[in-house]
Amino acid sequence: MTSRDAILTKIRNARSNAAAQIKPADDVGIHPQATPAGDLLGQFIELARAEVATVDELGTVAEVPAAVARYMEEQGLGNQLVLGPDPQLGDLDWQSIASLKCSQESPHPDGDTVITACYAAVADSGALVVVSSPDHPVELNFLPANHIVVLRRDQVLEDFERLWTQLRQDYAGKPWPRCINLIVGPSRTADLGFPPKMGAHGPGRVHILVV
Amino acid sequence: MQTTSLKFRQLASQALADETLRTALGDVERIMPVIRNSALDQLENPEAWFDRASASRDRTLAELDVYLEAFEQKVQQLGGHVHWAADGTEACEIIAGICETAGARTVTKSKSMVTEEIELNAFLESRDMTVVETDLGEYIIQLRGERPSHILAPALHVTLSEVAETFHRHHDLERAAPLREPTEMLLEARAVLRDRFLSADVGITGANFLVAETGGVVIVTNEGNADLTASLPDTHIVVTGIEKVVPTLEDAGLMLRLLARSAAGQRLSTYTTLIHGPRRAEDSSGPSNFHVVLLDNGRSDMLGTQLQEMLRCIRCSACINHCPVYTAVGGHAYGSVYSGPMGAVLTPGLAGLHAAAHLPNASTFCGRCEEVCPVRIPIPKMLRYWRDREFERRMTPRSVRYGLDWWTHMNASPRIYRSLLGIAARLLRGLSSRGWITRLPGPGRAWTRYRDMPTPAGQTFQHQWRRTRGRAGES
Ligand code: SF4
């Protein structure tokens, strides 16, 4: 008998209930709290800031290049920006900002500033949601020293449950995205005493541009 | 699973004398309950969430085979491989085999208690592989050749100056300026580990949850090290226990809310990642090989027994942080990678009672562990279960067994019991000064060596009852 069969047999012998199947999700008995449906964006921003992300509210997506240049200047991050392969961002008018040197190369291992889009944000936890794809390789979220994320106002969801529902709709009949990353502020560690120290292995800065 | 739990008494005495350890543990005792409580208060009615979470875990455990098979099937559809390991040795063999097929020389790892349980690092090293822990705490103790002293903060017992000294010794920093600030140490570790991440052939991670519905593996960290471990090398191996499966994403969301709050007072950990299989044909990066190793190692034996509820555990460490025994003696005294109340139940389950006999006794039965457990595991009841087994198998020390026999006899005769108790109450009163007894004679000395005892009333309850009953009845 293989270990697989041996383990499954032991489990089956131990359990009383014979027939079982994966129950539909609504049977789990989760009744999400009534999130104040009103100001989802406000709630998200408040929690993201509490988790040490910075947030800049812009008008349209066309304002992104200037806002990036301003942020990098203020923070003293130099002028190298990695755009990644995402055409949504690549198509913006970066030429107009003479001070920025943009590249599509993957981030330099020693740390760079990277800008990416995102899939959603979750208001009740202050989390950005990023899904991997050829346009958005997962390491873009983890290798850079600074991660700038463009979030559309209409992408903010109340809670996990709404996120799962939306993912199920968007990926119906397709394989699930290889990586779904929920990101709350910069990387940190609690291994060097309390309070946690920012900038462990992932980005030390997370800056969100809301458009 | 190797344990040194039989030396609990000796290790605990050493720990009690260790001042730096006491400072670190004092911080846990002071800070963790506060941040946990305030994070749970964000959920309206946290108790209702505990009920839901424990019901979800029970439902899963009742039909564990179904969810495991569903998970396996989904992972295979995504192009990944699922392996089943009956015990630690089989798991190590499977993992070493995958590494060897990948031609691995360097393996990066993110923190995984299951790999500590099966002692994977030593096994891979014996096959000539270099294993690098990437969680900062694990990395520190790996350099120091120590075992974790807390399931979430493995280097809790190491002071900052010891960290600096460790890096100096191992990073070739002999002549460099000393590392003084935590941020300097962090930068140093980040720089060294960056190279390791980029050059590793295989990445090994644990899993916080496995989602049967999608075949997803959920991994939670605050550092981001698991994501670099999982996404940069060409092979990713997930090693986890069979009990980690949850039915749907809703169950996962429920657990994630409670895990982050109970563990570290966070709404959500910094990075929560759901991984579905290996890289796709159209992807430019990500591992081409994706393996999940499901470990039994004694878990299925707990199903259908009084220990089944222990398999609900989501490894949040709340019971550990709130335990008066753990916060007095620390994790190493338990002699097992799982320490504190959860470790005292789990270790005899996984390593056998013979290897862990003292642990079920390392409890004051104050019940805080059960109170704070987000999946409502009745830990004191389970410790009592182990004590019963211990007594049955005559593993309890003879003095304790005779003591219990004597106690039983005495209890059977109310008159003797009452008169002996009366004598004891008067004697104890005589030993006290200013309301406290600081020194007891004979076997009582072990108690008063570390703590004082409040003076008893000098009369038994029954004595007082007889005197006052009349009056209380009149009013
Ligand atoms: S037993 Fe409960 S409190 Fe302790 S680690 Fe497990 S889930 Fe957390």
> What residues are paired with B220 via a beta bridge?
B272
Same domain, B286 and B345: no
Q: How many CB atoms lie within 10 A of CB B81?
A: 17
Tell whether the model's pLDDT for residue B187 goes beyond 80. Answer: yes
Q: B206 in a domain, yes or no?
A: yes
Whether A205 contacts chain B with CB within 8 A: no
Inter-chain residue contact A187 with B224, CB threshold 8 Å: yes
**What's the gap in Å between A28 CA and the centre of ligand 1?**
21
Instruction: Tell me which amino acid residue B208 is.
Output: N
Q: What is the DSSP letter of B87?
A: S
- Report the CATH number at residue B178: 3.40.50.10420
Q: Using a CB-CB distance cutoff of 8 angstroms, which residues of chain A are in contact with residue B49? A: none
Smallest Cα distance from B264 to chain A, Å = 9
- The pLDDT confidence band at residue A37, using thresholds 50, 70 and 90, is low
Instruction: Check residue A18 and give its pLDDT.
Output: 45
The arithmetic mean of pLDDT across residues A172-186, rounded, is 95
Task: Report residue A25 as tokens.
Answer: 């999700």
Q: What's the pLDDT tens digit per position in B266-281?
A: 999 999 999 999 999 9
Contact yes or no for A134/B284 (Cβ under 8 A): yes
- In terms of average pLDDT, the best of B31-40, B355-364, B456-465 is B31-40
CA proximity to B234, closest of B107, B329, B143, B323: B107
Contact yes or no for A150/A71 (Cβ under 8 A): no
Instruction: Check residue B236 and give its pLDDT.
Output: 98
Of B225, B248, B267, the CB nearest to A201: B225
Q: Using a CB-CB distance cutoff of 8 angstroms, which residues of chain B are in contact with residue A33? A: 43-44
Question: What is the domain extent for residue B51?
Answer: 43-300
Residue B59 parent element (H or E): helix B46-62
Q: B306 in a domain, yes or no?
A: no
Inter-chain residue contact B68 with A8, CB threshold 8 Å: yes
Instruction: Check residue A181 and give its pLDDT.
Output: 97
Contact yes or no for B205/B181 (Cβ under 8 A): no
Instruction: Check residue B395 and give its pLDDT.
Output: 74
pLDDT above 90 covers a percentage of chain B that reads 63
Smallest Cα distance from A21 to chain B, Å = 7
Return the residue whose CA atom lies nearest to atom 4 of ligand 1.
B319
Q: B305 in a domain, yes or no?
A: no
Instruction: Check residue B425 and give its pLDDT.
Output: 79
Mutation pick for ligand 1 pocket among B371, B373, B376 (CB with most ligand atoms within 8 Å): B373
> For the ranges B81-85, B258-262, B449-453, which has the lowest average pLDDT?
B449-453
Q: Are strands B245-246 and B271-275 parallel, antiparallel or unpaired?
A: unpaired
The arithmetic mean of pLDDT across residues A127-135, rounded, is 95
Domain boundary among B337, B371, B396: B396
Q: For chain B, how many structural domains are there in total?
A: 3
pTM of the model: 0.90
Q: What's the pLDDT tens digit per position in B407-431?
A: 787 778 888 888 888 888 788 878 7
Domain boundary among B273, B300, B327: B300
Same domain, B331 and B182: no
Same domain, B390 and B454: no
Residue B414 parent element (H or E): helix B414-431
Cα–Cα distance for residue pair A190/B28, rounded to 1 Å: 12
Inter-chain residue contact B300 with A14, CB threshold 8 Å: yes
Q: B404 in a domain, yes or no?
A: no
Inter-chain residue contact A139 with B300, CB threshold 8 Å: no
Whether A3 contacts chain B with CB within 8 A: yes
Q: Using a CB-CB distance cutoff of 8 angstroms, which residues of chain B are in contact with residue A194? A: 27, 31
- The pLDDT confidence band at residue A24, using thresholds 50, 70 and 90, is very low
Of A3, A124, A202, the CB nearest to B224: A202
Cα–Cα distance for residue pair B318/B339, rounded to 1 Å: 12
The arithmetic mean of pLDDT across residues B98-125, rounded, is 96
Whether A35 contacts chain B with CB within 8 A: no
Q: Using a CB-CB distance cutoff of 8 angstroms, which residues of chain A are in contact with residue B135? A: 191
Same domain, B76 and B225: yes
- What is the rounded average pLDDT for all residues in chain B? 90
**What's the gap in Å between B313 CA and the centre of ligand 1?**
5
The arithmetic mean of pLDDT across residues B64-91, rounded, is 97
Q: Which residue has the higher pLDDT, B460 or B112?
A: B112
Whether B318 lines ligand 1, by a CB cut-off of 6 Å, is yes
Taken in order B314, B318, B321, B324, the sign of the CA dihedral is negative
Q: B401 in a domain, yes or no?
A: no
Tell whether the model's pLDDT for residue B374 goes beyond 80. Answer: yes
> For the ranges A21-25, A95-99, B91-95, which has the lowest average pLDDT?
A21-25
Name the one residue in this structure whose structure tokens are 């989501």: B314
Instruction: Check residue B69 and give its pLDDT.
Output: 96
- The pLDDT confidence band at residue B62, using thresholds 50, 70 and 90, is very high
Same domain, B296 and B181: yes
Of B214, B268, B283, the CB nearest to A134: B283
Largest pairwise CA distance in chain A: 70
Instruction: Check residue B345 and give its pLDDT.
Output: 94
Inter-chain residue contact B300 with A15, CB threshold 8 Å: no
**What's the gap in Å between B133 CA and the centre of ligand 1?**
24
Q: What's the pLDDT tens digit per position in B211-260?
A: 999 999 999 999 999 999 999 999 999 999 999 999 999 999 999 999 99
Same domain, B436 and B389: no
Instruction: Check residue A21 and give its pLDDT.
Output: 45
Outline where B275-413 has alpha helix (H). Answer: 299-302, 318-321, 326-329, 340-351, 368-372, 379-392, 398-412
Whether B311 lines ligand 1, by a CB cut-off of 6 Å, is no
Domains of chain A (ranges; CATH) run 33-191+198-210 (3.40.50.10420)
Cα–Cα distance for residue pair B69/A73, rounded to 1 Å: 53
The arithmetic mean of pLDDT across residues A186-197, rounded, is 89
Same domain, B217 and B292: yes
Cα–Cα distance for residue pair A165/B329, rounded to 1 Å: 46
Instruction: Check residue B360 and give its pLDDT.
Output: 83
Q: Which residue has the higher pLDDT, B73 or B169?
A: B73
Q: Which residue has the higher pLDDT, B468 or B344?
A: B344
Same domain, B367 and B430: no
Q: B197 in a domain, yes or no?
A: yes
- Choose the mutation target among A112, A189, A197, A206 for the interface with B, i.e. most B CBs under 10 Å: A189
Same domain, B7 and B136: no
- The pLDDT confidence band at residue B142, using thresholds 50, 70 and 90, is very high
Same domain, B452 and B363: no
Same domain, B350 and B439: no
A82 phi/psi in degrees, rounded to 5: -95, 125
**ipTM rounded to 2 decimals:** 0.92
- What is the rounded average pLDDT for all residues in chain A? 88
What chain A residue is nearest to B293 in terms of C-alpha separation?
A4
Q: B243 in a domain, yes or no?
A: yes
Q: B311 in a domain, yes or no?
A: no
Same domain, B89 and B182: yes
